[in-house]
Structure 1
Amino acid sequence: MSGTRQTSHPALFMLLMILVGLNLRPALSSLAPVLPRIEAQTGISVGGIGALTTLPVLCLGLFAPLAPWLARRLGAERSLSLALLVLATGLGVRGLASPVWLFTGTFLVGAGIGVAGSLLPALVKRELPAAADLMTGVYTMALCLGGALGAGLSIPLADALHSWPLALVAWAALAITALVAWLTLMPQPTSPAIQHASGGSIRALLHQPLAWQVMILMGLQSSLAYIVFGWLPSLLIARGYDDARAGWMMAASVMVQLVSALAAPWLARLGRDQRPALLLMLSMVATGLSVLLVGPIEWRWAGVALLGLGQGGSFSMALTLIVLRTADSRLAGRLSGLAQGGGYSLAALGPLAVGLMREYDLSLMTINLVLLAIAALAAGFAMLAGRQRRLDTDEQGRLFTRIYH
């Protein structure tokens, strides 16, 4: 990062983070409700639809590790501008509606979101170090709101515009708005040297069990999140709901995430150990999914609420751990790239697995059991990543894990 101007006012930085955060989920959640229409009008097979839902998550994993590299060469601010431009381009390309352009646009969307999402924790740690965990909750709340808007407005937009491709393209306007605001008001660092400090390389991180624990937890809870984004409406339709109702149920669940996304970091601050909060959130996810997929129909809104509370809180906590488990913004940036890169690569297996189970006509009960197994595995890694540990470097720049009480 380069530049000598004063860093932006905290309130302005917060507003920019919220605006950017609003863009990092509609590109994913707006696709799921219209998947039946895409399948019907483009002739893409069920397996192809599964690949389409898996591709953006895989791209998040592939491109998130590029964020620290881009930040060193272009600066985090310009890198985020580039990511928003790629995101807006991908959203526009998807509107061409043919299978080739749908996959191309979705690839670009995943690349843009992967880089932007990986850059934000380090920027938060740099701009607001004393309240980085709470600011992460605000940013996550913006992600959840964007996801809810994408899910809830997808079918109404497609119906109003008489075109699902135009409904997908419409979200490019929000990305362009964020890009213009970021270019105009982007923060500038007061301490450019921080990016050139030694130690804490990705290779060194890979030798720290704590980094693996955070990465795998990120991947497992994200796998459940992207299964919901990619497949929940289709699974609800298989249960007997129409596409509009299924889309609104997913939107309501994502909207509920706003509450726990903001509250989870506060809850984590009540004690020195984040494990109880993580286990509570993951239990809510497991219960909510079970109610929606195989539980009594009359309990569906309780399932929607539990799923939303659990997923908003678990994702917010996973991002907060990146901040809490690192000593400075440089380490936060590198752990963010590793955790989100490796984590999202792992998460991509979730939507792919559900797509395969759907292609082979496996029952909702079987799918639910697989999702419960993922949640249980996530809980196991939460017990490790939630402990009071922090990655730091010594005077010689060597990375180590500090245990603190």
Structure 2
Amino acid sequence: MLHQAEDVSVGCRRVMMFRNWWLLVAITLVAFNLRPAITSVAAVLEELRSVLGLDPRAIPLLVALPVLAFGLSAPCGPWLARRVGPGRAIAVAMLVLAAALSGRVLGPVVMLPGTFLAGVAIMAASVLVPQVLRANRDTAWSTGLWTMGIGLGAALGAGLTQPLQYLFGGSVTWALAVWAIPALVGALLIQWHGEPGPSPTGAGGMSPLTLAEPEDPQEAGGVPRNNCIGILAPLPLRKQTTAWAVTAFFGLQAMLYFSLTSSLAAFLIYKGMTPLAAAAFLGWFNVAGLPAGLLAPVLAGRRNLLAFMSSGLGILMAAVLLTMLAAPGDLQFVLVGLLGVAQGAGFGVAMTLIVIRSAGPLTAGKLSAMSQGIGFALAAMGPIGAALLLEWTQRWEATIWALAAEAILLAVAGHLAVKGRLISVEVSDESLPGPSRASSARSGPG
């Protein structure tokens, strides 16, 4: 009998390991789909204007609309997850994304609404993945694969769209529509491998895509649900300082990324580069961040390294930006590479903070919606602010100094996010006096 139980346990562990590997593949593919909707359009803006007959004033909206949608639609993911579960919610978001990518190239009437809908679908999936990762309890490599997948999708969306256009006989519409295919595959994988499976004990269990309670309410500063004190109302995220620090970190790194994406090539041309070389350096900026996006969450799994990285990356970005002002052209390749590494690692740390600073998957889902919703709304102002500052001062120095100041604020936010209290929306003992908290912590779940 004992041997049979052991065989069942080993078999279940193998099944869970197999399922988790496929889950990581599905999550990575979902991540891959979260940027081509933006970068593929940015690569063929002029062709779109001539082919679709778009008003020139509508062209900038094709890049700005998805980012604006990110900020406005953050609650959509948690709302859908409460009704169908986070796994199916991500699958639905991928299907909507595929439909938007296919439909928006039918004409100028569909283009702008389709672009906005693509942004909504991207945000719905994006805010739920930290919840999935937190439930999966494999927060290092899985988060790294997630962030690297996003960077890879951004780079390939920008770099392959024009070659795809030539492959399809010069059709820019088909070159854009082809990015719906990986979205469909991602939807199928996350759906197939998101159903509850057996636990290692063989008694059934919770899938990584199933909502769960926090593993340790005590760690989050909470009290047991069943004790002599009673159940306390959860403390809202808006009243938790660490949640705001994580949100600020996410928003500032996103603002820096979109600001640099929109202005780096123009700055390099100002420094004496040809437009072709400046565009290549922009591609290098994205590619250099790919390994950092993979490794940063793994390194950040150690608290001492996380504390160092969350502050040090902002300081590094500020130093590199200011050095670029005075550096000769020969050094710009190295500096742009360093900037890309810091940016890629910064995004990886931002996603890691959402996951590991949350007490459980429910908290991670809500914190993800808050940090990405407010963060992307903040990020949408970055490129606009950089352009307005350049137009007002007519000097790149003012813009670069402003970006360096943002990087310093990023370092401050990272420090506060790591040093602050663990975030939880489950149970809070903030209202208890000190002795009561101590006694409830000793009592354990009852």
TM-score band by shorter chain is 0.7 to 0.9
Residue 114 of structure 1: aligned partner: 123
Using the TM superposition, give the Cα deviation of residue 124 of structure 1 relative to its aligned residue in structure 2, in angstroms.
0.9
| Corresponding position of 2:192 | 184
Cα 1:120/1:82, change in 2 over 3 Å: same
Residue 398 (structure 1) aligned with residue 437 (structure 2)? no
Equivalent residue of 2:294, what SS? helix
Can you list the C-alpha shifts for 1:352-377, whole angstroms capped at 9, x where unaligned?
32454577694433332332222222
Match of 1:59 in 2: 69
CA distance in structure 2 between the aligned counterparts of 1:354 and 1:213, rounded to whole angstroms: 23
Q: Does 1:194 align with 2:234?
A: no
- Tell me the CA shift for residue 155 of structure 1: 3.2
TM-score where L is the length of structure 1:
0.84
Going from structure 1 to structure 2, the CA distance change for 1:375 and 1:393 (only over 3 Å counts) comes to: closer
> 2:164 matched to which residue of 1?
157
Mapped contact 2:36–2:157 kept (Cα < 8 A): yes
User: CA–CA distance in 2 between the matches of 1:56 and 1:232?
Assistant: 20
Secondary structure of the corresponding residue to residue 274 of structure 1? helix
Q: Which amino acid aligns with 1:172?
A: A
1: distance between equivalents of 2:275 and 2:173?
17
| Number of residues of Structure 1 aligned to a counterpart in Structure 2 | 390
Matched, 1:71 2:81: yes
Q: Relative to structure 1, is the Cα distance of residues 337 and 326 closer, same or farther in structure 2, using a 3 angstrom cutoff?
A: same
Deviation, structure 1 residue 215: 0.6
Shift of 1:199: 7.9
**8 Å CA contact retained: 1:392, 1:400:** no
Structure 1 residues 188, 62: closer, same or farther in 2, change over 3 A? farther
Per the TM alignment, residue 262 of structure 1 is displaced from its structure 2 partner at its CA by 1.9
User: Secondary structure at 1:64's aligned position in 2?
Assistant: coil
Superimposed CA distance per residue, residues 286-345 of structure 1 (whole angstroms, 9 cap, x where no aligned partner): 455556677432223213311210111001001101112111111111111111111111
TM-score (norm 2): 0.77
Aligned to 1:280: 312
Q: Distance in 2 between matches of 1:270 and 1:19?
A: 26
> Aligned AA for 1:329?
P
Decide whether the 8 Å contact of 2:93 with 2:124 is kept in 1: yes
> Which of 102, 105, 112 is the matching residue for 1:95?
105
State percent identity of aligned pairs.
33
284, 294, 299: which one aligns with 1:267 = 299
Which residue does the alignment assign to 2:255? 223
Q: Which runs of 5+ in 1 are unaligned?
A: 1-5
Deviation at 1:134, TM superposition (A): 3.5
Q: Partner residue of 2:368?
A: 336
Amino acid at match of 1:344: F
CA distance in 2, matches of 1:38, 1:235: 25
Larger Rg: 1 or 2? 2
In the aligned structure 2, how far is the partner of 1:368 from the partner of 1:93? 39
CA distance in 2, matches of 1:356, 1:43: 24
CA distance in 2, matches of 1:239, 1:104: 38
Q: CA RMSD in A?
A: 3.2
Does residue 212 of structure 2 align to residue 205 of structure 1?
no
1:167 equivalenced with 2:197 (yes/no): no
The 8 Å contact of residues 118 and 337 in structure 1, kept in 2 or not, is answered as: yes
Q: 1:305 to 1:193 in 2, by over 3 A?
A: closer
Structure 2 unmatched runs, 5+:
1-14, 198-204, 215-224, 226-230, 432-436, 438-446
Residues 112 and 237 of structure 1: is their aligned pair in 2 closer, same or farther, counting only changes over 3 Å? farther
Q: In structure 2, how many angstroms separate the alpha carbons of the residues matched to 1:364 and 1:253?
A: 19
Residues 200 and 19 of structure 1, relative CA distance in 2, 3 Å threshold: farther
CA contact (8 A) 2:299 2:305 kept: no
